[in-house]
């Protein structure tokens, strides 16, 4: 059976779920990956009230929709990051300026996300972790290996109790491997996994768009972590564009600036080879949803969301149940 096609609601958090749900059903989606901001899914309410979860499920079912994962990306960013004023919008307003309190809240919120997911009946939370060492990415002034190792140890110290909570709840933590996170390519993802002792609750929300422009083999990622792919985003990007004045690091330009070397695109409009991705997902027996994360500043989002649903259905296919030449042995 073909994989379910869902859409991540984070980029639609300005719309109430009451308006968004019927729209996405009309566009052709099977379900929603619910963001835990806007009014789409409230972690605090879901932890305290199973009735809230039941009502949310009933609302989705009323519109012919399902949910296979919730997203806690925004609060997750605060978990291991070096916090500053950019992060203040991600935490309760009463904590503004108190970065120690914000970090403490983020850790609790990650644990509560696991409990909320359990009550809601989903097995995956997609999220970020932030990174205490992202600022050391370019090694000048030279960053001694001990500083990098200390960063991974700090990540493990913070995340291990969170992952233990996820394990107790029977929920998987799916880190979206992404610049500014502790894991942003294959090598750093391997190191993050090792840092938490290959914790069974820790894995990845696969998103190829973050690899291509870095020069990372996004298909190899699937084979490398075949047992740790807990969720998959369908998002596209293009690279090698622009006018030669802006490189991979972005030049402090905004998305959709025509000078940029790379940018996110609506699925099917970038350079990601989704044919190879589907083959790889079949090879590793990934049967979870394909969740559109729509980010394209050059395209109307209603057009993009509708087109993306049709695109994902077109590119997805099941692995053959027979060898194509098996019948010749009976000739």
- Please give the pLDDT value at position 323: 76
**Residue 133: is its pLDDT beyond 80?**
yes
From CA 172, how far away is CA 126, in angstroms rounded?
Answer: 8
Confidence of residue 330 (pLDDT cuts 50, 70, 90): low
DSSP state of 125: E
In Å, how far are 201, 210, 278 from 315, measured between CA atoms?
Answer: 30, 20, 7
Cα end-to-end span (Å), the chain: 30
Work out whether strand 236-239 and strand 262-265 pair parallel, antiparallel, or are unpaired: antiparallel
Task: Return the CATH number at 288.
Answer: 3.20.20.150
Residues 33-53: tens digit of each pLDDT: 999 999 999 999 999 999 999
What is the per-residue DSSP string for 160-175? HHHHHHHHHHT-EEEE
pLDDT digits (tens, 9 = 90+) for 75-106: 999 999 999 999 999 999 999 999 999 999 99
Q: What number of CA atoms fall less than 13 Å from residue 238's CA on the CB side?
A: 17
C-beta of residue 207 within 8 angstroms of C-beta of residue 177: yes
The answer to whether residue 66 scores a pLDDT higher than 70 is: yes
pLDDT confidence band for 331 (50 / 70 / 90): low
* More confidently predicted of 97 and 326: 97
Q: How many domains does the chain have?
A: 1
Looking at residue 51, what is its pLDDT? 98
In this model, does residue 73 exceed pLDDT 70? yes
Domain, as residue range, for 303: 5-330
> pTM for this one?
0.97
Distance CA 130, CA 77 (A): 4
């Amino acid at each position: 059976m073909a994989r379910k096609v869902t859409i991540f609601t984070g980029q639609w958090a300005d719309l109430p779920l009451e308006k968004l749900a019927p729209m996405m059903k009309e566009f052709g989606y099977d379900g929603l990956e619910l963001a835990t901001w806007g009014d789409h899914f409230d972690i605090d309410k879901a932890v305290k009230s199973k009735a809230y979860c039941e009502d949310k499920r009933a609302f989705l079912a009323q519109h012919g929709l399902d949910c296979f994962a919730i997203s806690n990306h925004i609060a997750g960013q605060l978990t291991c990051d070096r916090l500053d004023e950019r992060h203040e919008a991600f935490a309760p307003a009463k904590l503004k300026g108190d970065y120690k309190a914000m970090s403490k809240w983020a850790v609790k919120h990650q644990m509560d996300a696991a409990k909320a997911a359990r009550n809601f009946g989903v097995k995956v939370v997609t999220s970020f972790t932030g990174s205490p060492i992202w600022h050391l990415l370019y090694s000048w002034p030279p960053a001694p290996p001990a500083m990098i190792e200390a960063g991974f140890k700090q990540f493990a110290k913070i995340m291990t109790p969170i992952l233990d909570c996820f394990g107790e709840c029977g929920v998987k933590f799916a880190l979206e491997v992404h610049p500014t996170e502790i894991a942003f390519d294959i090598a750093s993802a391997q190191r993050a996994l090792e840092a938490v002792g290959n914790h069974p609750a820790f894995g990845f929300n696969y998103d190829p768009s973050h690899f291509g422009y870095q020069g990372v083999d996004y298909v190899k990622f699937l084979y490398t972590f075949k047992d740790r792919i807990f969720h998959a985003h369908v998002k596209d990007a293009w690279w090698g564009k622009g006018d030669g004045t802006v490189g991979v690091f972005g030049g402090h330009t905004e998305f959709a600036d025509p000078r940029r070397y790379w940018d996110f695109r609506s699925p099917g409009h970038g350079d990601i080879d989704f044919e190879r991705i589907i083959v790889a997902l079949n090879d590793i027996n990934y049967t979870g949803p394909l969740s559109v994360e729509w980010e394209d500043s050059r395209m109307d989002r209603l057009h993009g969301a509708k087109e993306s649903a049709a695109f994902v259905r077109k590119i997805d296919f099941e692995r053959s149940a027979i060898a194509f030449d098996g019948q010749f042995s009976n000739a």
